[in-house]
Amino acid sequence: MMSRLPQWIRRPQLTRLSGAVLFAAASAVWAGAATAENHEEIIKSHGYSFYGDLKYPADYPHFDYVNPDAPKGGEISVARPSALDSMNPYNGKGRAGLFSIMHYEGVLGRAPSYVAAPADVYAEYYCLLCETLEYPADKSWVIFNMRKNARFSDGSPVTAHDVVFSHNFYLDGGLKSAADNIRKRVIGVEALDDYTVKFSFADGIPRRSLIASAGNGPIWSKAWFEKTGVKMSDDWRGDNLPIGSGPYKIVTEDLTRSIVLERVEDYWGEDLPFNIGRNNFDRIRQEIITDDTASFQGFKTGLYTFRQETDSRKWAVDYDFPKVQNGYIVKKELPDGAPPIPTGIIFNLGSEVLKDKRVRQAIAQMFNFEWTNESLQYGLFKQRVSFSQDTPLMAVGKPEGAELALLKSLGDVVPDELLTQDAVVPHTSRATRLLDRTNRRAASDLLDAAGWTVVDGKRRNAAGDLLKINFLFNSSSGPTLSAVIENFVSNLGAIGIDATLEKVDGSQYTARERDRDYDLLFDQYAPILGSGTGLLQYYGSDSAAFSLFNPAGLASPLVDAIIDASLNSETSEAEDTAIMALDRALRYELFMIPVWYNDSFWVSYYDMYEHPENMPAYALGHLDFWWYNAEKAQKLRDAGVLR
pLDDT recorded at residue 177: 81
Report yes or no: 186 and 200 within 8 Å, Cβ to Cβ: yes
Grouping H, G, I as helix, E, B as strand and the rest as coil, residue 427 is coil
| Alpha carbons 78 and 286: distance in angstroms, whole number | 5
Burial grade of 75 (CB within 10 A; 0-12, 13-18, 19 or more): middle
Centroid of chain to Cα 178: 15
pLDDT recorded at residue 81: 82
| Alpha carbons 98 and 156: distance in angstroms, whole number | 25
- H-helix segments, 382-472: 401-409, 416-420, 437-449
- DSSP state for residue 373 in the 8-state scheme: H
Please report the sign of the dihedral spanned by the C-alpha atoms of residue 301, residue 302, residue 303, residue 305.
positive
CB 188: neighbour CB atoms within 10 A? 12
**Alpha-carbon dihedral of residues 587, 592, 597, 599, nearest 10 degrees?**
-40
Q: What are phi and psi of 265, to 5 degrees?
A: -65, -40
Q: Among candidates 255, 256, 279, which has minimal Cα distance to 268? A: 279
- C-alpha separations of 3 from 337, 340, 446, 566, 584 in Å: 10, 14, 39, 31, 26
CB 405: neighbour CB atoms within 10 A? 11
Q: What is the pLDDT of residues 77-100, one digit of tens each?
A: 999 987 888 999 898 888 888 899
| Alpha carbons 526 and 586: distance in angstroms, whole number | 12
Which residues does residue 78 pair with via DSSP β-bridges, in sequence order?
Answer: 286
Q: What is the pLDDT of residues 127-164, one digit of tens each?
A: 999 999 999 999 999 999 999 999 999 999 999 999 99
pLDDT recorded at residue 114: 67
Q: What are phi and psi of 437, to 5 degrees?
A: -65, -35
Residues lower than pLDDT 70 in the chain: 1-39, 114, 116
**Alpha-carbon dihedral of residues 305, 95, 313, 633, nearest 10 degrees?**
0
Q: What are phi and psi of 9, to 5 degrees?
A: -65, -20
Query: Nearest 5 degrees, angle CA 242-CA 243-CA 246?
Result: 135
Report yes or no: 245 and 153 within 8 Å, Cβ to Cβ: yes
| Strand stretches in 377-497, DSSP E | 382-383, 453-455, 458-460, 468-474
pLDDT recorded at residue 643: 76
Burial grade of 18 (CB within 10 A; 0-12, 13-18, 19 or more): exposed
Q: How many residues does the chain have?
A: 643
pLDDT recorded at residue 338: 87
| Alpha carbons 551 and 522: distance in angstroms, whole number | 10
